[in-house]
Amino acid sequence: MAEVKSMFREVLPKQGQLSVEDITTMVLCKPKLLPLKSLSLEKLEKMQQAAQDTIRQQEMAEKEKQQITH
């Protein structure tokens, strides 16, 4: 593999200890469970369902009213 020139030059200490940690390991973390639907989406769907139910009830009331008058 070709050597890549770096803008920085390597400096080794003349005194003390030199430690190298090149070992990369995988770190396992607790899985994060994501909801299939967000809370805001669930609230919006409930509001839409409630509005549709209200409209159906109004339509049924109008039909009953029309049948009574005929």
Break the chain into its structural domains and give their ranges: 38-69
Q: What is the mean pLDDT of residues 23-41?
A: 84
Instruction: Give the predicted TM-score (pTM) of the model.
Output: 0.45
Cβ partners under 8 Å of residue 41, min gap 6 = none
CA distances for 5 relative to 12, 13, 22, 42, angstroms: 18, 21, 20, 56
Q: CA 57: distance to chain centroid?
A: 37
pLDDT band with cut points at 50, 70 and 90 for residue 1:
very low
With vertex at residue 54, the alpha carbon angle to CA 41 and CA 61, rounded to the nearest 5 degrees, is 165
Distance CA 39, CA 37 (A): 7
Higher pLDDT pick, 59 / 38: 59
Q: What is the mean pLDDT of residues 51-56?
A: 96
Residue 23 has pLDDT above 90, yes or no: no
